[in-house]
């Protein structure tokens, strides 16, 4: 009887595995790290209300906005505004629209702001229907001393608006001193906006 010398195929355990070159993976790793950093900063690392504005410390836009058609307050036609109306007083300029849900959310805080002595409240009505704007202010209350109609959105661009609502503090010399992006909340109103407003008021000449 002859001896069977055949052997079964052995697994190629000793054969080196093909490796993906590190240089190919490096761009993917870098991209993933940058994407993760961007996402962190967008969601957790930055408060969008604190996004800096290039207009801080610069003069308010030199523009003249017409009044909102048919808007009255206590039986008197509510005027629009121009840059000249910003001079001589500390102004809070709020960009709003009737179709903006967050604007409705923050509106009671604007009513509170209107009670503060020594400031004037100015509204920029952004791309709105005049009738809707009148209804909005008629139902929620009108905290403004003047409201300008920004029918085309050009005025908001000049103010560097990211989206409604946004609220600015303008010094009596006509310089933009602070910008709050997004709707004011009870917390941000008390801990952020009012302290910034106090700084401007305290620095204003008597």
Q: What is the pLDDT of residues 128-159, one digit of tens each?
A: 999 999 999 999 999 999 999 999 999 999 99
Q: Give dist(CA 130, CA 69) in Å, integer.
A: 6
According to DSSP, residue 53 is labeled -
Architecture of domain 53-203: 3-Layer(aba) Sandwich (3.40)
What is the percent of the chain with per-residue pLDDT over 90, rounded to a whole number?
70
Q: pLDDT tens for residues 41-50? A: 333 334 444 5
What residues contact residue 19 under an 8 Å CB cut-off, 6+ apart? Answer: none
pLDDT value of residue 206: 72
Is 158:127 a contact under the CB 8 Å cutoff? no
Structure tokens at 41: 């900063």
Q: Give dist(CA 27, CA 33) in Å, integer.
A: 10
């Amino acid at each position: 009887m002859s001896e069977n010398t055949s052997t079964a195929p052995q697994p190629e355990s000793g054969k080196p595995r093909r490796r993906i070159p590190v240089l190919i993976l490096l761009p993917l790793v870098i991209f993933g790290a940058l994407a993760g950093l961007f996402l962190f900063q967008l969601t957790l690392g930055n408060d969008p209300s604190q996004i800096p504005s290039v207009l801080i410390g610069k003069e308010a836009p030199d523009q003249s906005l017409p009044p909102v058609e048919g808007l009255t307050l206590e039986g008197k036609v509510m005027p629009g505004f121009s840059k000249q109306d910003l001079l001589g007083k500390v102004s809070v300029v709020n960009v709003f629209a009737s179709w903006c849900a967050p604007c409705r959310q923050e509106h009671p805080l604007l009513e509170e702001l209107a009670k503060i002595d020594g400031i004037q409240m100015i509204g920029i009505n952004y791309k709105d229907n005049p009738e809707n704007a009148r209804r909005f202010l008629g139902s929620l209350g009108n905290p403004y001393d003047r409201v300008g109609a920004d029918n085309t959105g050009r005025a908001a661009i000049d103010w560097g608006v990211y989206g409604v609502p946004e609220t600015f503090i303008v010094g009596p010399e006509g310089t933009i001193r602070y910008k709050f992006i997004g709707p004011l909340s009870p917390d941000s109103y008390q801990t952020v906006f009012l302290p910034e407003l106090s700084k401007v008021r305290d620095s204003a000449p008597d």
